[in-house]
Amino acid sequence: MQDKAQDGTGFFDSAVIKVSAVILAVAVICAGSVIVIYKKHFAGDYLVDHAAWGQFGDFFGGTLNPILAMLSLFAILGALIIQSRELSHSTSALKEQSAHLNVQAFENTFFSMVLLYNENVKTLDLEDTEKKEDYNQGRGAFRILLRRLKINYENVKKYHSTGRDEREIIAQAYKVFSADNDRFIGHYVGSLKSIIDFIEVRSPSNPLQYYSIVNAQLSANERLLIFYHSLNCSGSLALDNLNKYNFFGDISKQLYFDADLHSSLVVNPI
């Protein structure tokens, strides 16, 4: 885009030079023509006759001044066009620079938030589980958290599913799970929500690319836990919003607690 603007400016500058040369040439030709016409139609040696000089000056000025005035008007119009064109280029350049700075400012903050999110994940610690089960602090904790959530889901499915559809069963299971584990994952979920909210509110362009970057940070277990969380919240982390960006499309169908029922809630499941 910038190269095209520069090419347009160069072409316009070249045209201005050519038009200026034409105006100057016309002025010179007109002046010469006036002299030739005077000599041809008026006899006398005006080089030594003061009266003839005065007559020649009146003729020269009276004939040439309107022509030069008209050429001056053309030159003024040309100058105004040049100034208008330069102002337009300056305005376009400022808009492009402003847009670039906005994107840069957004991405600096966005990637800082993603970095902070990853640091939060690394510190995720199930202190009451650490001595009882073999797991790695950080992302390794999500395997244990999903196991707990699945146990809650199976219990609700087995003992409290009468008269409830599948989403109500998941909601009840997640409510029990959240009551026991929010102290572990509350900060983690809040950090992820802040990133998604920031994309929704401040993204200067198509947010899909930024959702894809966030999605790439998540392990399969993280993504699955967020899926079940999204069924029980509103706003940017709600399933309807995340489905718009195919956030869970790459979760394997076999990983869901109920492969057929739960994968059917996702856009383009694999």
Q: What is the spatial distance between Cα 149 and Cα 225, in angstroms, rounded to a whole number?
A: 9
Q: How far, CA to CA in Å, does 225 sit from each of 101, 118, 188? A: 36, 16, 11
Name which residue leads in pLDDT, 263 or 17. Answer: 263
Under a CB-based contact definition with an 8 Å cutoff, are residues 222 and 143 in contact?
Answer: no
Whole-number average pLDDT of the chain: 82
Single pTM value for the model: 0.67
Q: How far, CA to CA in Å, does 28 sit from each of 14, 18, 55? A: 21, 15, 21
Q: What is the spatial distance between Cα 232 and Cα 241, in angstroms, rounded to a whole number?
A: 13
What tokens were used for 100?
């670039």
Name which residue leads in pLDDT, 116 or 31. Answer: 116
Close Cβ partners of 64 (under 8 Å, ≥ 6 residues apart): 30, 31, 34
Task: Indicate if the pLDDT at residue 33 is higher than 80.
Answer: no
Q: What is the spatial distance between Cα 262 and Cα 260, in angstroms, rounded to a whole number?
A: 6
Q: Give residue limits of the domains in the chain.
A: 2-103, 123-263
Q: What is the spatial distance between Cα 202 and Cα 102, in angstroms, rounded to a whole number?
A: 9
- What digits encode the pLDDT tens for the residues 158-186? 888 888 899 999 999 999 999 999 988 88
In degrees and rounded to multiples of 5, residue 47 shows phi and psi of -70, -25
- What digits encode the pLDDT tens for the residues 226-249? 999 999 888 899 999 999 999 998
DSSP per position, 189-213: HHHHHHHHHHHHHH-SS-THHHHHH
